[in-house]
């Protein structure tokens, strides 16, 4: 893969003040990109430190074409996470994000701007085989169905001078100043630190691939400096084959690192951290993924440290903060719960604009 330099190249990160964006914008600035950040700030206050605010503190739906045109590449992180239940019409939630993603992709196409979209390995849904990019997808939630719909729309848009990239990420974990506690490894580490218990809300038998946030940043970086120009949508699974693990295995790694005990909470009592996609203790989303395509294209994409080392690293970084049960149960660190709070308290309207 031909590589071009990053120095002073102007890039725009849309959705910069979330979990990945807060880490990625620093990572890319350190690589000498000229980074402009944009975010409407739904989760800006879910932060462990005094944190930065996007240069463009706006909703992406109000972003003008004249501004987008100034950039060489757009990383499009803005999205709705997790499937809402009773309080909002789930599909409406996702239609909004599909519409704004494609609107910006079209501007990128017209202006020869690289477009990188984070999709998800959850599009594979369930299966005993190991899925690669050619496998038939089987998305089980509206979140993953929406990711596929966006991929399809990007494929349709692709063509001469527009070769968008869709990165199907494993489930991310690791330290970011705006950490999400609704992601499995982050959540279980927080349990172990604050409660000395690792509480599983399923039987732990589901398979998932996991990736550290540092490796996510590396994948975006490699795509930014690549010269992919084949006139197609380029889909890559992003992760490491060794990190396909059952949740119970993850829990045992954390147990060994912290001496916390594992508990199963299989009833569906709707407490705060209850995952609404899990029924009778079984998580239907279970998939193993093959990651060789991206590594073949980008041999530089190597796992620096093994999963256990990365989890240990996360635990020691989290331990530097005064982490209490209060933080573990703070809705600001959970995407769905925060959106429900904003809607219920009329801070945002049903179209997800600030009131």
Residues forming the site for ligand NAD (CB under 6 A): 15, 17-21, 39-43, 59-61, 77-79, 81, 100, 118, 120, 169, 171-172, 180, 183, 335
Is the Cβ of residue 92 or residue 261 nearer to ligand NAD in the bound state?
92
Q: Which residue, among 73, 12, 101, has the nearest Cα to 227 in the 3D structure?
A: 73
Q: Determine contact, residues 18/43, Cβ cutoff 8 Å.
A: yes
In the bound complex, what is the minimum distance in angstroms from residue 78's beta carbon to ligand NAD?
4
Label residue 343 exposed, middle or buried (CB < 10 Å: 0-12, 13-18, 19+): middle
> Measuring CA to CA, how many Å separate 142 from each of 48, 286, 341?
30, 16, 20
End-to-end CA separation in angstroms for the chain:
47
User: Residue 352 Cβ, how far from ligand NAD at the closest point, in Å?
Assistant: 6
In angstroms, what is the minimal distance from the CB of 196 to ligand NAD? 26
CB of 181 to ligand NAD, least distance (A): 11
- Considering beta carbons, is residue 79 or 327 the nearer one to ligand NAD? 79
Residue (149 or 264) nearer to ligand NAD, CB: 149
- Of the pair 169, 207, the CB lying nearest ligand NAD is at 169
The 3-class secondary structure across 241-281, one letter per residue, is HHHEEEHHHHHHHHHHHHCCEEEECCCCCCCCCCCCCEECC
Q: Which residue is nearest to ligand NAD (CB)?
A: 18
Measured between alpha carbons, how far is residue 342 from residues 95, 97, 142, 339, 351 in Å?
A: 19, 17, 21, 5, 12
Smallest separation (angstroms) from ligand NAD to the CB of 178: 6
- Between residues 268 and 340, which has the closer beta carbon with respect to ligand NAD? 340
């Amino acid at each position: 893969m031909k590589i071009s330099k990053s120095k002073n190249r102007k890039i725009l990160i849309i959705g910069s003040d979330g979990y990945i964006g807060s880490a990625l914008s620093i990572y890319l600035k350190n690589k000498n990109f000229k980074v402009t950040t944009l975010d409407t700030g739904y989760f800006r206050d879910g932060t462990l430190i005094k944190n930065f605010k996007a240069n463009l503190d706006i909703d992406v739906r109000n972003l003008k074409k004249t501004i987008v045109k100034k950039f060489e590449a757009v990383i499009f992180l803005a999205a709705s996470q997790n499937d809402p239940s009773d309080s909002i019409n789930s599909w409406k939630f996702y239609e909004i994000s599909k519409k704004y993603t494609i609107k910006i992709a079209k501007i990128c196409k017209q202006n020869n701007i690289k477009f990188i979209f984070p999709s998800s390995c959850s599009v594979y849904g369930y299966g005993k085989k190991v899925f690669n990019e050619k496998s038939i997808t089987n998305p089980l939630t509206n979140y993953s169905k929406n990711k596929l719909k966006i991929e399809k729309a990007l494929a349709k848009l692709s063509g001469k001078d527009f070769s968008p990239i869709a990165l199907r990420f494993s489930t991310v974990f690791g330290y970011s100043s705006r950490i999400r506690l609704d992601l499995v490894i982050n959540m279980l580490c927080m349990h172990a630190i604050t409660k000395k218990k690792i509480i599983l809300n399923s039987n732990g038998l589901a398979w998932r691939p996991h990736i550290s946030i540092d490796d996510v940043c590396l994948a975006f970086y490699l795509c930014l400096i690549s010269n992919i120009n084949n006139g197609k949508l380029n889909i890559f699974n992003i992760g490491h084959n060794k990190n396909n693990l059952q949740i119970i295995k993850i829990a045992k790694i954390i147990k060994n690192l912290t001496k916390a005990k594992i508990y199963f909470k299989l009833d569906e009592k709707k407490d705060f951290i209850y995952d609404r996609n899990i029924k009778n203790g079984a998580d239907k989303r279970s998939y193993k993924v093959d990651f060789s395509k991206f590594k073949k294209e980008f041999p530089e994409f190597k796992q620096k440290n093994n999963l256990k080392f990365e989890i240990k690293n996360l635990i020691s970084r989290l331990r530097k903060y005064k982490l209490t049960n209060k933080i573990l149960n703070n809705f600001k660190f959970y995407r769905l719960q925060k959106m429900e709070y904003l809607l219920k308290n009329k801070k945002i309207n049903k179209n997800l604009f600030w009131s």
